[in-house]
Structure 1
């Protein structure tokens, strides 16, 4: 017999409004479900039309049946949380489809529009399949640990951050992000967040991934018209990620939440080049976003794929690589989501000891980190990798992640080293550009040796002064000597800081210096200081 009944009254904690959930018999005999605001359910014609749109059995589409269902008491009362993540006291953790731990508000997850793929498989099967396969790659170990580290951000009072795995297409960088996702989220690449959705509005994504790992598909799929637009969109994403995007004024932060003033998320994405290289193409320097969305060149040891921990990794054939990729993708599709719930239960049981354990693991990582410590950015990035290591270490303890701590430490440190190396790339870029400039200026002829008729055919000239060499060089020749716009910009900035460059003079128009032959030419004047005894 066809049935229409009110199964639940659900409060949305983000705005304190309610919805009523009804189950009903469809015309084909299957069970359907619908959620309506109380005011909608009280209007029987509106209710009827909603049922009809969902193919409800015709016998249910009558006024007495609908009004009786609307007036009935719900079978249970529950609530939708404003976000995923921790509730007060770290006794409850909300996932998209359920709450783990103490649940005094009867939270049943997030509203249906906050979509997250349903878990599949079991924790034990994930450990045997994905967990073991991840050991074959330092990059996959890193991304796996990111999922386990995300719930620690708030406990350790760390801000959100992310990693961009860089490498050419076909080497497995997206596969590495998928492995990280499989811990608590999607198990297939086509289920990952897209840049279309993320750029349209970051807050919906953050609500669904608060205190969790958020994996966004490859940067190269970003819907932008130019490399410069891609860089600026990425930079904005990194900034919003690092600041939590939405502050306490948002209704997402209900009075009972434990979100503090912002979301906490670890994010993963991938790209064919590092974001630093993308910035360089656009003549930009990354600045503070370099420690919010951290570049990690993911093909290690000179390989062109992610499986650096496989014996004889450099000798793997394409067929062997494809078998490895297939095994990982199949394992993730079959086993995803459940291991994270088990891990969160361990964190809840251990909540009183967690701060000390996190500090201990982070100190161990810092003590073994081989990267440089110059500057705040270096120290900040090492600390973030230390938190990732702490996540992996706690997973070994809490859910039996089948790795040894020594191999975990080595893998995460290896990734940290290459990430730190990308930071020093800009300094090396400047040093190389400075050498190019010095060599080019030294090759310019002395003005005293140049005939008046020869100035039109030379790139520039040098005049020796008591304390400096006055070097004048054509703009186009200056610009062409550098490897990319960033190198040119960095050299120009250094010249400006030293006070060695003159772009124009009051009596000369827009950098058109008057050369010794009396002709105005677009050029730069560089006053290279002479060494004095």
Structure 2
């Protein structure tokens, strides 16, 4: 007689699914879900997923859904029946589906679906449809190591200090009642702007996952802004918007206004057929200031636009790009830029949750007390800088920097930033005072972002005794080679032909490439074909007399006048 092996009983087969809660049906959430936990067969790892009610109509439908979610397929038919019974059972635990991360009451919902703070009502959970543009907020290494290896760079750059504090201020916007907005750090390439963006990004995750490029679609940027609600948004490379200056100016103007205003333009089924809404702190970078971009495209700036996202010159004035000093063991700003890139891609993701944990605890303990301290800190900043309270524009500008100062000071108090409040004030105050020269001026006077380093070259070109080779055939080759600047015809254009060593000595290596590339793009500097920038061979009386940087006289003169 054939003997059949006895199958394992249902009781011996461990259930790998657990019902955690159900959603509450409402006008904003017409589809019901079950919130479940799926554990691996070893019981070591688990994932939490939302299962739509339509998947519960039969055991086979649920099986398909669970397998798509990564459930172990090596289980019996009887197991799937038990799993179905587990998930459809009654429960009084309810969750609220949310379409964006951020504050819900006194609880903060992160992009990884973890709620920070004690949940007193229904637990907030991100809707499955809301996860398309969520940033990846991974953590690598501890907060202690981030404080040792990344944060201290802010002590060598007021611009980096501003970036860090701008990030923390995003968590305070709702509490303060301020609209979204922030700062646009502008200047030549290779000046260190992206270093600021990297350090800011490292609060929440790896820079490669957190930094967003400006050249997304309008709809895409709106969805990205929603995904960063009640937090901060890092936008890099505004030069990528459009090759046409007028088009780029209009695109930038509209996007700055939309992002800071916190309201989208198109209705979406994802947001209950309403427009998307958000509140973010913005930190942007680009080669031109927003004023310059508007002026270049002859676009009239909208009222209040220049105080929503404020231009801050990336050049800190110490001939080291964004840096005012160098840490011990670092010999150049270029070396420091590479050190920051390495550090921020190794230590990240610990500062944001640490700050939010303390902030939410304070809010849940005494919300009004936190609000009063926030308002007091803003007033302290305004009083210290003697802001004219009768000027609405000056007050709004100062408040944008003030909330960054308060946020940075809170991060110091919470043990997230290894500085003093005085360090924070010094960095923010420096950026504030530098920005006033630009923000309160007319846009037409700021058309060239060349900075102080180009002034010496301009001074040489403005001298009265320049050697002019045009129509002059009595100059020796020796005299030509000794002259720092000559006037000559090159490619049919009258140019200032400047000795290449003079240019290299005047322009710091960290800024040289960016400045010369920009001048070539603007048609001020001639270059060889298919080169981003270059020197040109000077020919005099049919003989080559050396390569020089050739600035078209009319265009450089116009630049000097402006």
Is 2:264 aligned against 1:229? no
Residue 55 (structure 2) aligned to one of 36, 40, 55: 40
Residue 170 (structure 1) aligned to one of 190, 196, 203: 190
Residue 137 (structure 2) aligned to one of 92, 110, 118: 118
Q: CA deviation at 1:171?
A: 2.6
Local SS of the residue matching 2:406: helix
Is 2:118 aligned against 1:102? yes
* Higher mean displacement: 286-295 or 37-46: 37-46
* Change in CA separation of 1:15 and 1:226 when aligned onto 2, cut-off 3 Å: farther
Local SS of the residue matching 2:310: strand
8 Å contact kept, 1:93–1:344: no
Is 2:312 aligned against 1:281? no
What's the counterpart of residue 396 of structure 2? 380
8 Å contact kept, 1:77–1:106: yes
What's the counterpart of residue 155 of structure 2? 135
Is 2:121 aligned against 1:80? no
Matches within 5 A, 1:255-274: 263-274=278-289
Local SS of the residue matching 1:287: coil
What's the counterpart of residue 369 of structure 1? 385
What's the counterpart of residue 439 of structure 1? none
8 Å contact kept, 2:35–2:49: yes
8 Å contact kept, 2:256–2:309: yes
8 Å contact kept, 2:175–2:371: yes
* Change in CA separation of 1:36 and 1:430 when aligned onto 2, cut-off 3 Å: closer
Q: CA deviation at 1:427?
A: 5.8
Give distance in 1, aligned partners of 2:81 and 2:432.
66
8 Å contact kept, 1:79–1:105: no
* Change in CA separation of 1:28 and 1:313 when aligned onto 2, cut-off 3 Å: closer
What's the counterpart of residue 170 of structure 2? 150
What's the counterpart of residue 355 of structure 2? 340
* Change in CA separation of 1:10 and 1:171 when aligned onto 2, cut-off 3 Å: farther
What's the counterpart of residue 20 of structure 1? 34
Q: Say how many residue pairs are matched.
A: 423
* Change in CA separation of 1:251 and 1:431 when aligned onto 2, cut-off 3 Å: closer
Q: CA deviation at 1:271?
A: 0.9
8 Å contact kept, 1:172–1:325: no
Q: CA deviation at 1:383?
A: 1.6
Local SS of the residue matching 1:352: helix
TM-score of the superposed pair, with normalisation by structure 1: 0.67
8 Å contact kept, 1:153–1:160: yes
Q: Which runs of 5+ in 1 are unaligned?
A: 255-260, 433-483, 485-533
Residues 369-416 of structure 1 show CA distances to partners (whole Å, capped at 9, x for unaligned) of 378889532331112111111111222223352222222212111111
* Change in CA separation of 1:104 and 1:45 when aligned onto 2, cut-off 3 Å: same
* Change in CA separation of 1:430 and 1:315 when aligned onto 2, cut-off 3 Å: closer
What's the counterpart of residue 421 of structure 1? 437
Q: Which runs of 5+ in 2 are unaligned?
A: 1-12, 449-521, 523-562
Give distance in 1, aligned partners of 2:172 and 2:239.
30
What's the counterpart of residue 540 of structure 2? none
Give distance in 2, aligned partners of 1:430 and 1:54.
55
Give distance in 2, aligned partners of 1:84 and 1:268.
19
Q: CA deviation at 1:294?
A: 1.6
Local SS of the residue matching 1:402: coil
8 Å contact kept, 1:167–1:298: yes
Residue 319 (structure 2) aligned to one of 291, 300, 303: 303
What's the counterpart of residue 206 of structure 2? 187
What's the counterpart of residue 215 of structure 1? 234
Q: CA deviation at 1:304?
A: 4.7
* Change in CA separation of 1:367 and 1:329 when aligned onto 2, cut-off 3 Å: farther
Give distance in 1, aligned partners of 2:176 and 2:46.
45
Residue 88 (structure 2) aligned to one of 71, 91, 95: 71
TM-score of the superposed pair, with normalisation by structure 2: 0.64
Q: CA deviation at 1:286?
A: 2.4
Local SS of the residue matching 1:216: strand
What's the counterpart of residue 9 of structure 1? 21
Residues 258-305 of structure 1 show CA distances to partners (whole Å, capped at 9, x for unaligned) of xxx963221112111112111122112323321122211122115353
